[in-house]
Structure 1
Amino acid sequence: MKSSKSVSGLASLSSLVYSTEVGRTCPTCRQAKADCRCGRPVLPKGDGIVRVSRETKGRAGKGVTLVKGVPLDEPALIALGKELKAACGSGGTVKDGVIEVQGDHRERVIELLKKKGSWTVKQAGG
């Protein structure tokens, strides 16, 4: 039996999200995020509340502090993550608009975010 769709037809159904050569890509123009030609900054959508929580899921029992909902673009979010990690004296990362700080530093992070920005900061979870 012969397939009704060609290989090139199936390839058009998928969209490139990440490339090992250029990293994250823009879903609209399919260029690297740094070379995006859409011309608009990508800000996370949310309700204007920055939520700070602790999570251990998928980390072999090790806890991390998560900061979600910060209305900043990617470079500013990375800079804020670096500042929070330095203030807590621990490592971490910024992934998909979420700042992760290794360890349980919820109180310190909430205090720093309230001083830093004009955001409503809440502790999420237990």
Structure 2
Amino acid sequence: MDLQDQLKNLFPDHIEETTDEETSESSKIWMQDDPLICKYEKRKGKPITIIEGYTGANEDFKILAKDIKTTLSVGGSFKDDKIIIQGDYRDKIMQLLKDKGFSVKRVGG
């Protein structure tokens, strides 16, 4: 008999709450009224996508950056309140942000 079974025997009326990691992580992110700016640049001849304009906490923006990078399987960084993604992924990033509930504005073509 493991610890879970022992606890169930001691507290038979207890109802376990299940939490989904993705739901709890995305619900922590503060949603804003102003749109995020998604723009395209070339630095040293290589394309990059920049997301800026987030007015919430830096930790929330870092969580969002990590989620974008893992979803698209690309490299990138978080510097000076901007998310820098390697490559031209404006359409995919904009769709991903819209699915999360953000309003996004495309800049630069």
TM value normalised by structure 1: 0.58
How much identity, in percent, do the aligned residues show? 36
What is the Cα deviation at residue 48 of structure 1? 1.1
Give the structure 2 partner of residue 83 of structure 1: 67
Give the structure 1 partner of residue 53 of structure 2: 69
Structure 2 regions of 5+ residues with no counterpart? 1-32
TM value normalised by structure 2: 0.66
CA distance in 1, matches of 2:57, 2:78: 12
CA distance in 1, matches of 2:98, 2:55: 14
Give the structure 1 partner of residue 86 of structure 2: 102
What aligned pairs does 1:1-126 form with structure 2 within 5 A after superposition? 48-56=34-42, 59-117=43-101, 119-126=102-109
More helix per residue? 2
Match of 1:123, as an amino acid?
R
1:63 alignment partner, SS class: strand
Give the structure 1 partner of residue 15 of structure 2: none
1:71 alignment partner, SS class: coil
Match of 1:52, as an amino acid?
C
Match of 1:49, as an amino acid?
P
What is the Cα deviation at residue 71 of structure 1? 2.6
Give the paired residue count. 78
Match of 1:53, as an amino acid?
K
2:105 alignment partner, SS class: strand
2:46 alignment partner, SS class: coil
Give the structure 1 partner of residue 10 of structure 2: none
Structure 1 regions of 5+ residues with no counterpart? 1-46
